[in-house]
């Protein structure tokens, strides 16, 4: 199961990267095509849908890689036992919020499909199609949070937190990687 979940998070990250590449290609075609009269109908719509899919599909991979912004001013100063319970409480709150958004993203797709909602741009497509990336990204993030909650509840250290630097070189390397 662990291998499947890790591959799911990685695949989600690759999908986000694929959407980023699609944004790049579309934007370059729009920019380079303008002087020669090349026009891509509804390219702005496609770029915006790709951007939403990229942002949401990248969340689980970013979370699991420890790259999400995390302010540990309070939690870093807690004793280990209190910190463990605080981590669990934070994960429960995160599961609640993400579960709420995932449920209503699913409802949005269901309603778009049920009412045959179509895009208003030059190319008319069913709105549930671009909404799938939003829903899938939230669902995979919810799975990642539940997975992490189970891991931390078993007494393990959170996998989403990078280890603290122990040497001056590690501090500098971490600062370089985080673009501080």
- 82-129 pLDDT per residue, tens: 889 999 999 999 999 999 999 999 999 999 999 999 988 888 899 999
In the predicted model, what is the mean pLDDT of residues 27-47?
86
Sign of the Cα torsion 58, 59, 64, 66 reads positive
- Which backbone phi and psi does 123 adopt, to 5 degrees? -100, 120
Three-state DSSP state, 126? strand
- Give 123-177 pLDDT, tens digit per residue: 889 999 999 999 999 999 999 999 999 999 998 888 888 777 778 887 788 777 7
């Amino acid at each position: 199961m662990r291998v499947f979940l890790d591959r799911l998070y990685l695949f989600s990250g690759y999908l986000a990267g694929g959407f980023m590449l699609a944004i790049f290609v579309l934007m370059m075609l729009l920019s380079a095509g303008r002087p020669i009269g090349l026009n891509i109908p509804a390219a702005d719509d496609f770029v915006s849908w790709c951007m939403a899919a990229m942002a949401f599909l990248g969340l689980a991979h970013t979370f699991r890689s420890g790259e999400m912004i995390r302010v540990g001013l309070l939690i870093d100063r807690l004793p280990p036992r209190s910190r463990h319970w605080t981590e669990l409480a934070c994960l429960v709150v995160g599961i609640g919020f993400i579960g709420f958004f995932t449920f209503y993203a699913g409802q949005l797709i269901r309603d778009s499909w049920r009412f045959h909602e179509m895009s208003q741009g030059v190319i008319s497509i069913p709105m549930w199609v671009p909404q799938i990336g939003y829903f899938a990204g939230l669902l995979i993030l919810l799975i990642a949070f539940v997975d992490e909650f189970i891991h931390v509840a078993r007494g393990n250290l959170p996998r989403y937190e990078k280890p603290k630097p122990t040497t001056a070189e590690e501090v500098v390397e971490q600062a370089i990687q985080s673009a501080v």
